[in-house]
Amino acid sequence: MIQADKYELVGYAKNSPATEKTISDLLIEIAPNIIIGLADESKIVIFNKFAEKLTGYRAEEVLGKKWVDIFIPQESRTTIFSLFNEIVVKSSVEHHYENPIVVKNGEEIMVSWYNTVLLENGKFKIVLSLGTDVTGQRKMENDLRKKVLEMERFQSILMGREDRILELKKQVKELKLRLGET
């Protein structure tokens, strides 16, 4: 019964632009990912509930403000703003991108983004981005890399000791042969 209702709603949405908008708005709000829309000069025009939860900012605090000024680390702002302006001019964007953002409490988190440019009459309208917080995943990968390097170093030390022991045994055997011992 629920599936039939979903299909009826989807069928109805195809015939009703207002319902299509309502459904897309609902999907944006309930998505378990950051969903943002950035207009000219990186002005925030879409900022979903998950973005609020993850960043600590309410939509009212950021809508209409520049994404680059609020969320991009200071040292990267000029570069990112230039890249954003290039997106506007070319009306195309790198589909997948990963970069740190600064949340309200000052922490940096790493976000993996999937992006698309929306055009209106062939001209740039907004960049629509879906982001996933990968901070924990990147930290685990970095910790794993460190552990692997540590284990390789330890293995090298052990193998070096083993090689020295074998060399010493060989030298002892040669000395015994010289002394006539076997």
Nearest by Cα to 44 from 131, 105, 109: 131
Mean pLDDT of the chain: 85
Q: Is the pTM of this model over 0.75?
A: no
Q: Is the per-residue pLDDT at 8 higher than 60?
A: no
Calpha distance 27→84 (Å, rounded): 26
The distance of Cα 133 from the centroid of its chain, to the nearest Å, equals 6
Q: What is the pLDDT of residues 91-125, one digit of tens each?
A: 777 778 899 999 999 999 999 999 999 999 888 89
Do residues 120 and 144 make contact, with C-beta atoms less than 8 angstroms apart?
no
Q: Is the per-residue pLDDT at 2 higher than 70?
A: no
Q: Which residue has the higher pLDDT, 175 or 33?
A: 33
The H helix count followed by the E strand count for the chain is: 7, 5
CA atoms within 13 A on the CB side of 74: 2
Calpha distance 13→32 (Å, rounded): 23
From first CA to last CA, the distance across the chain in angstroms is 90
Query: Tokens at residue 126, please?
Result: 């907004």
